[in-house]
Structure 1
Amino acid sequence: GPVLGDGRGILEGAHPLMRRGRPRFQFRIMLLWALATIGVFLGETGKGKLQDPFDDRLDLLEKVYKAGVDAQCEQKFEEACQHFEKAYNGHLSLLGNTHERTLQSLYALSQNQAKLGKLETALRNVETCRDIRRTTVGDFHAETIKNEYDIIALKSRLGRYNESLEEANLLMKRVEKEYNMTVLPELRGNLLSSLNRTDEAESIILSQIQRLESCRKDVNLTLDDPYFEPAEMNISVLNCYCGLGMACRRKGNYTEAAKMFEKAYLGYKALCGPHHSLTLQVWGNLAYTRMELGHVDEGERIFREIVEVYRNASNGGKNIVHCNAEGNLGVCLLHTEEDARRREGVALVEGALRGLREIHEMPDTHPWILKFKCALESSVAVQGNRTSSK
């Protein structure tokens, strides 16, 4: 019969570990306990690992966040948004809404939403980051100020120029002693230009170019500071040339504007590549200005290339700059004499207006909407005159 005959249960006697009696069973239990103890010890000393489920989830979220960064670098902004949203929700659940990792995920999400033209959503998310950081790290923390800057830039893109300029001036006063904010003068210059205060804009941007050029020459002093890294300096100077081009165009000086845009375009192309969003945007500005100078065919050619780049990168969707590029191509075609090209132009401008209003919720007061509406109205008037003259 079984070794254990004292009636303590059939299962005990029948278990394989028990068939040869209690001593063997106790030895195996001790062996398992020893192995577990060694495992815990090795895990704590870093030579082995018994991973905490909490850490497992954090590691997984880091991989999701990294996938978002990779997608963003490849300018796959829709895919990046999906990764960053997943990372944000995970960090929010694990760490809470005030943790820096949660805020970083939300900020990255907002950056890519802005790239897709979801400006209102991006603005709300950056405002959330800013409001939380004000309470956790304070108004003068670098991350809080970065959020403030992005809020101003997004409001500017939404056409809220007066509000943006007022906030930019306040931010400038608040941080000029604490931080060397090289980007603020560029932004203020562009805002003043958008408000047709072009002389003030030119003055600010020209002094900014001189300041940046002098910083850029002093390479030995700037290499240790990532903010003054030479490539960043170059980008800032190019941003200023773009801003000068905008100011010149608003003053009606299209020839000088085209020179500034071309300078910026060639610089962006060399630094960032031909298909980078900065390169494409300033190339579009150059094309539009060349069209205004009467070079309609050149404008059409450039905008067709830009639209093709966006189309190939969009996976069927249309982001805000894609809509704008198609609308600009349409405006070029409205300046031609051929009826077929003009009809294509009308369709493109109408499509751009629909996309900007419905997909991107752009207000009717935004300069892009006004530009396309004006182009359509002018086209209808010109067409009417042609019909009546026949």
Structure 2
Amino acid sequence: MGSGFQSSSRANNVSKRSSISSKSTLSSGSSKSVSNSDSPYAGYHYLRLAHSLHMSGKKNDVKAMDYALKAVDFFEKRSNAKAMPELVMGLHLLAAAKCRLGHYEEVIQILKKSLAMYTPEMGSEHTFGAFAGHMQLGDTYSMLGQYEDALQSYHAGLKIQKQFLGDMDCRVAHSCLYIAESHLQAMQFKEAEELCEQALKIHIEQCGIDSEEVISDRKLMVLALTGKGNHEKALENLFLARETLLVNRKDVEVANVDASIGDTYLALGLYDEAGAAYQKALPFFEWVHGKDSIIVAALSLSLAEVCLKKGTIRESKSYCENALRIYARVKVGQFPDEIASGLTEVAGLFESMGEYEHSLRLFQQALEILEKIPGQQSEVAAIEAQIGVLFHVIGKYEEAYMALKSAVCKFRCGIHRKTWFLGMLLNLMGLACLGLDALWDATEIFEEAKSILDEVCGPHHADSLAISSNLAGAYDALGRTDDAISLLEQILDVNEGRLGTLHPDVEGDRQRLKELLNESGRSRTKKTNSLRDLLLSSRAQSSRFQFKGIA
């Protein structure tokens, strides 16, 4: 976060977002370069050096850290009410340098130490320090994939900022948008929409309804509304933004909005309208960015998806291949995030076409890129999950198990500790164990998946019941007939009320229960056949679980 409670764009990396302002305290003291540690101005000199080195680039991070540490030591020894802002700034500089060096756990402790010094009764410099500290701490948690802790810290900073600046300051609006982006990453669309509405209200009052700030607010609002599934309201905001841009003759930005309009039409199932919107944007993108740009590749993939939805597979493949040609020409180091995202999207399209081997190769390429970028834990886990799904579909159960296990581990450490995503991943992991004849492991995994789905979705939800059915099959295979019967009775009661007594799924549940009740000493062969049936049916289940876009 910059000075004066100003939030910067999330498009920059975290180390840049956490840059430290040099105004106010750094101008205090002597203007001479003081290197004597006994001088009363030495601490300010260390701060200036640390700040200058930090802003000069990553190559000087170690030196910046050393001078920040000297400044912290200096002000801690001479701490008093007047020196406290300088001590906080030194801690922030130390945290920023350590963050760029990847020492995230140390960063968290340093920032917590700085925040512990703050009380609401302190002056404006202390208030700014507390705000900056909370935002910097949120950025660090975000890099570790700990989004709940990050959001808590961001909101604490926003509260302090509002208390100091009031609710209608433009800097508050910028912070609202910044935090809204984090809520979008955590797939918390309602909270993101509320923050966008706050920012929109402030910018309409302070900047005018046709201002660039309002247009930016509407664009971010569209992402929140789309996440909620409110595509009609999203489309309304897009057309309002487009109208304003046309008045201001900003053709390139109009093309960006046209692409977003295409995305919204696509989500509404209006494929002809989506294709028309994308085609409007394409010539502007090629003119401004070049035919071999990442942006043109992304638009090609959008057109590929439209063609796939319309059933024109050959045309869809042509657009996919065009995007892949562009990605092959671009150096990965220049746009790693965009290339990884594009490869993931192409992989998803080839998966939908049934070309699983090709899809797997592309997912693995995307994974290799993302694993080299810090702060991508959720994205890596999402791709590992999809790789696990594909391995399961083609019958490579050991590879499926390993990929799913890695994804589950990452989700447990992030925002998906108890979510539908984690429950369904565990279900597939259990099915992979069945394919490896690891019955005890499969049973334990199904039990965990069932407990999560029962809590998140309720025991009567269709996905909860599907996992219960898998668990019943595992119990049966282990000879735990009573447990299997108990589960099947519960499933049958719920499905009769939910689907009707004549539904094919209900009839299947009834037949399974009948066989269990009639068999008192079923042979091992028969149980193996039952298990094989469960495993074969799981291939159809796995194709329903799409993990693209998990954050």
- Within a 5 Å distance, the mapping from 1:1-390 to structure 2 comes to 53-58=123-128, 61-62=131-132, 65=135, 78=147, 81=151, 84-178=154-248, 180=250, 181=253, 182-216=255-289, 234-264=293-323, 267=326, 270=330, 273=333, 276-304=336-364, 306=366, 319=378, 324-338=382-396, 352=421, 354=423, 383=537
Contact 1:77 1:116 (8 Å CA) reproduced = no
CA distance in 1, matches of 2:178, 2:222: 17
Cα displacement string for residues 152-195 of structure 1 (whole angstroms, at most 9, x for unaligned residues): 12222333333322332343234421352332101011222233
CA distance in 2, matches of 1:184, 1:159: 18
The alpha-carbon distance between structure 1 residues 294 and 123, as it changes in their structure 2 partners (threshold 3 A), is same
How far has the Cα of 1:94 moved from its partner? 1.2
How far has the Cα of 1:119 moved from its partner? 2.6
Q: Could you say what secondary structure the match of 1:176 adopts?
A: helix
Which is further off, 63-72 or 240-249?
Answer: 63-72
1:140 aligned partner, one-letter code:
D
Contact 1:103 1:129 (8 Å CA) reproduced = yes
Larger radius of gyration: 1
Contact 1:126 1:150 (8 Å CA) reproduced = yes
Cα displacement string for residues 353-379 of structure 1 (whole angstroms, at most 9, x for unaligned residues): 647998xx99xxxxxx9xx99xx99x9
Contact 2:172 2:199 (8 Å CA) reproduced = no
Cα displacement string for residues 42-99 of structure 1 (whole angstroms, at most 9, x for unaligned residues): 98xx999989931343256446656767887x79684865664343232112111211
Cα displacement string for residues 291-335 of structure 1 (whole angstroms, at most 9, x for unaligned residues): 3444322323443565677688798x974x566535533442343
Structure 2: segments with no counterpart, 5+ residues: 1-26, 33-40, 45-81, 86-121, 409-418, 426-451, 458-462, 471-504, 506-532, 541-551
Contact 2:176 2:199 (8 Å CA) reproduced = yes
Cα displacement string for residues 191-243 of structure 1 (whole angstroms, at most 9, x for unaligned residues): 222333222222221231112333457xxxxxxxxxxxx9xx94543332232
Quote the sequence identity (%).
15
Structure 1: segments with no counterpart, 5+ residues: 1-41, 218-229, 363-368
The alpha-carbon distance between structure 1 residues 275 and 173, as it changes in their structure 2 partners (threshold 3 A), is closer
CA distance in 1, matches of 2:265, 2:534: 32
1:201 aligned partner, one-letter code:
A
Partner of 2:54: none
CA distance in 2, matches of 1:256, 1:380: 37
TM-score, normalised with respect to structure 2 = 0.46
CA distance in 2, matches of 1:121, 1:175: 27
Q: Could you say what secondary structure the match of 2:296 adopts?
A: helix
CA distance in 2, matches of 1:112, 1:172: 25
CA distance in 1, matches of 2:198, 2:341: 28
How far has the Cα of 1:108 moved from its partner? 0.9
The alpha-carbon distance between structure 1 residues 313 and 215, as it changes in their structure 2 partners (threshold 3 A), is closer
1:300 aligned partner, one-letter code:
L
CA distance in 1, matches of 2:358, 2:151: 35
CA distance in 1, matches of 2:423, 2:371: 17
Contact 2:231 2:264 (8 Å CA) reproduced = yes
Task: Tell me the matched-pair count.
Answer: 315
How far has the Cα of 1:383 moved from its partner? 2.4
TM-score, normalised with respect to structure 1 = 0.61
Q: Could you say what secondary structure the match of 2:247 adopts?
A: coil
Q: Could you say what secondary structure the match of 1:97 adopts?
A: coil
How far has the Cα of 1:280 moved from its partner? 2.7
2:390 aligned partner, one-letter code:
C
Contact 2:336 2:369 (8 Å CA) reproduced = no
2:208 aligned partner, one-letter code:
G
1:352 aligned partner, one-letter code:
F
Contact 2:350 2:356 (8 Å CA) reproduced = yes
